[in-house]
Structure formats: structure tokens, C-alpha cells
């Protein structure tokens, strides 16, 4: 089995994604790196370290980019809480940092596990763009990258058309989508349609009774309030967890189509929009398999299993 590397801007749903990987396939996880996104990067590292300890997984965290490639960081603490973990008073402690920047650690891991390293990205793609710049062989050393980001239906969560991870650092995302890395894109549409957690689903998860289950549900507090107040939706969705489930078990995805994905960079109302190109006149390589449908039952079983 290929090794897995998780690059995350750890906030509440990233934490659940880490629980899935560290509980269902700990032997495959070769490294965890952090990036600024939902929260500043030092909080992302703190939350990743906390979650790894909760899963009894010993690791050093490779802290990465503190800001997007060429713009100011705009976090999503209004969605995930000031601490990123729902502001429920968790004692998050301090992470054990490797002292190796994420992009450098990624390049080294890709060389070490040449052709056998799969990367899962759960935040802005800054670290990956930097790794591509650092090492011209990085793209060919990576077996696969599963990306939580973008949308296949132009229905965004941070603007009317853009998804947060891509919008936060569109220039980095465009570098990554243009690269030769074989990619699977799990957009926000997949989360919205197949990874929604209703209030009764949340009760079912809480009833598992473990510390992991309690943190997984209760850390979504600010997210739940945000969903309820902005769209009247009770409950929340889990984009990073379903993406991680896809990386562990590709049969979670039931329909994919290859595209050359491009990102709208710069400013303006379409900043961060993912454009899916598949026309006959377009000879750009279609390096991204875009997920178009998923199997919720498989995802739900994996989630329950991971939280036991």
C-alpha cells in the first residue's frame, strides 16, 4: 500500500479527517504538514498535534507556509472558531514540531517514497506549490494527490462561486492544477451532497461515546451556528473527512471525469473559481480526475469506525 501524507490547515473538520486517517490506516501515514488557511499556521499545527495525540499517533508536525504565495492570509475563524476547534475549551497543548518546513519535508518524503507517496490536501495548496518550485522532480515522485478544493458546479462556500481552499490561495492552486501530479479533486459539492451531518447523525456519532467522537462533533459548534444562521441549515458538512475517506478507499467516489482544471487568479468576483476544461479543442493534459458523485453509506461507515 502507498504511504500517505496529509497537508492540512487544521480546524474542526480537518481534525475529523486526521482521525479517519490515523484511526483507519495509521501504518500508511508517513507525515503530517500544516499550512495557513482556516486559522494561522501555528494554530493549525497546534490543532494537528492535539488530534494526533488524541489518536495516540506519535509524530512530529512539519509546519509550513504562514501565508498564501502572494497575498495576505484571510482565515475562516468565523466558521471554525478563534481556536479553529469550535471554541469549546479544549486543552490543545503544544505540538511537537520537526523544525523542517513543510515544503522541504514533502520534497524529501516524495524522494524517499518515490512513486509510492500519496498526498491528501485539506487546506490551501501553498505548501504543494512551494514543493513543486523546490524540486523539479516533485510532481513525478508523487503517486497521487487527493485534493479537497474547488467545486464541479460553480456553487461556492466563501463566495457565490468559489470554495475556500482554492479561494484562499488561488495562485498556488493554479500551479498545482497545472502540474503533472495525478490528482483527484473532491469539491465542496461532494461534501454538500454526500457528507452532510444532520442533528440526528451528530447524536448518533456522539453516542459512540469515545473522546474522538465527542471532539469530532463538539468542535463543529461554531460551524453549526454559522450554517444555521447563514443558510438555515441545521447540522454541518465534512469536506475534509470525505476527501480523506476517498484517499483511503477510492470506492467512496462513484463517478469521476478527467479535466484540465484551471483557477481564476487575481481579484474580482470569480477569484478562486475552478474551471473544468474538457473540450476537444483543448489539448492541455487532463491531469485531474474530478469527483462527480459519491457513496454516502461507505463514507458514513468509515466515519463511525474511525470514531470508535
Q: Footprint of ligand BDR on this chain (CB under 6 A)?
A: 11, 13-14, 38, 76, 79, 122-123, 148, 157, 163-165, 188, 239-240
Residue 281: CB minimum distance to ligand BDR, A: 31
What φ, ψ does residue 33 adopt, rounded to 5°? -125, 155
- Of residues 26 through 85, those in contact with Ca ion by CB under 5 A are none
The region of 154-162, 179-187, 225-233, 235-243 touching Ca ion under the rule CB under 5 A is 235-243
* Residue 146 grid cell: 487527493
Determine the Cα–Cα distance for residues 174 and 44; give it in Å rounded to an integer. 23
Three-class DSSP category at 218: helix
Residue 237 binds which of ligand BDR, Ca ion, none (CB < 5-8 A, kind-dependent): none
Q: Which of 211, 219, 205, 214 is nearest to 89 (CA)?
A: 219
Residue 283: CB minimum distance to ligand BDR, A: 31
Residue 136: CB minimum distance to Ca ion, A: 28
H/E segment holding residue 301: helix 296-307
Which is nearer to ligand BDR, 55 or 148 (by Cβ)?
148
Q: List, in order, residues 6 or more apart from 283 with CB less than 8 Å away.
A: none
Which is nearer to ligand BDR, 54 or 79 (by Cβ)?
79
Residue 9: CB minimum distance to ligand BDR, A: 6
Residue 272, CB-side half-sphere exposure with 13 Å CA sphere? 25
Told to check if 163 binds Ca ion by CB under 5 A, we report no
Told to check if 14 binds Ca ion by CB under 5 A, we report yes
Residue 234's alpha-carbon distances to 10, 226, 229, in angstroms, are 23, 10, 9
Residue 38: CB minimum distance to ligand BDR, A: 5
Residue 67: CB minimum distance to Ca ion, A: 16
Residue 18 binds which of Ca ion, ligand BDR, none (CB < 5-8 A, kind-dependent): none
Residue 294: CB minimum distance to ligand BDR, A: 15
- HEC assignment per residue over 34-54: ECCCCCCHHHHHHHHHHHHHH
Which is nearer to ligand BDR, 74 or 295 (by Cβ)?
74
Which is nearer to ligand BDR, 107 or 148 (by Cβ)?
148
How many angstroms from the chain centroid is the CA of residue 290?
A: 15
Told to check if 123 binds Ca ion by CB under 5 A, we report yes
E strand intervals along the chain: 3-8, 29-34, 61-63, 117-121, 142-148, 183-186, 196-197, 236-237, 253-263, 274-277, 288-294
Determine the Cα–Cα distance for residues 154 and 175; give it in Å rounded to an integer. 20
Q: List, in order, residues 6 or more apart from 265 with CB less than 8 Å away.
A: 170, 171, 174, 271
Told to check if 135 binds Ca ion by CB under 5 A, we report no
Residue 20 binds which of Ca ion, ligand BDR, none (CB < 5-8 A, kind-dependent): none
Residue 157 binds which of Ca ion, ligand BDR, none (CB < 5-8 A, kind-dependent): ligand BDR
Which is nearer to Ca ion, 83 or 240 (by Cβ)?
240
Residue nearest to ligand BDR (CB): 164
User: Using CB under 5 A as the criterion, which residues of the chain lie in contact with Ca ion when the complex forms?
Assistant: 9, 14, 122-123, 240
Amino acid at each position: 500500500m502507498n504511504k500517505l501524507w496529509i497537508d492540512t490547515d487544521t480546524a474542526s473538520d480537518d481534525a475529523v479527517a486526521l482521525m479517519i486517517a490515523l484511526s483507519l490506516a495509521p501504518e500508511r501515514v508517513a507525515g503530517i504538514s500544516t499550512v495557513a488557511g482556516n486559522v494561522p499556521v501555528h494554530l493549525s499545527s497546534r490543532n494537528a498535534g492535539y488530534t494526533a495525540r488524541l489518536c495516540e499517533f506519535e509524530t512530529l508536525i512539519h509546519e509550513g507556509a504562514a501565508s498564501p504565495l502572494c497575498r495576505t492570509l484571510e482565515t475562516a475563524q468565523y466558521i471554525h472558531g478563534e481556536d479553529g476547534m469550535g471554541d469549546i475549551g479544549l486543552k490543545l497543548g503544544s505540538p511537537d514540531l520537526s523544525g523542517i518546513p513543510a515544503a522541504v519535508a514533502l520534497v524529501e518524503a516524495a524522494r524517499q517514497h518515490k512513486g509510492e507517496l500519496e498526498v491528501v490536501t485539506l487546506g490551501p495548496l501553498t505548501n504543494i506549490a512551494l514543493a513543486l518550485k523546490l524540486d523539479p522532480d516533485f510532481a513525478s515522485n508523487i503517486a497521487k494527490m487527493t485534493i479537497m478544493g474547488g467545486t464541479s458546479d460553480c456553487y461556492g462556500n466563501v463566495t457565490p462561486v468559489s470554495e475556500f481552499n482554492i479561494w484562499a490561495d488561488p495562485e498556488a492552486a493554479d500551479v498545482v492544477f497545472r502540474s503533472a501530479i495525478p490528482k483527484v479533486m473532491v469539491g465542496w459539492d461532494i461534501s454538500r451532497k454526500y457528507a452532510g451531518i444532520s442533528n440526528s447523525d451528530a447524536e448518533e456519532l456522539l453516542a459512540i461515546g469515545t473522546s474522538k467522537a465527542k471532539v469530532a462533533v463538539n468542535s463543529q459548534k461554531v460551524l453549526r451556528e454559522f450554517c444555521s444562521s447563514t443558510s438555515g441549515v441545521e447540522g454541518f458538512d465534512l469536506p475534509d473527512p470525505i476527501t480523506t475517506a476517498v484517499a483511503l478507499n477510492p470506492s467512496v467516489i462513484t463517478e469521476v471525469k478527467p479535466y484540465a482544471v484551471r483557477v481564476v487568479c487575481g481579484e474580482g468576483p470569480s477569484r478562486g473559481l475552478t474551471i473544468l476544461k474538457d473540450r476537444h479543442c483543448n489539448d492541455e493534459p487532463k491531469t485531474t480526475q474530478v469527483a462527480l458523485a459519491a457513496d454516502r453509506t461507505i463514507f458514513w461507515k468509515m466515519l463511525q469506525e474511525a470514531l470508535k
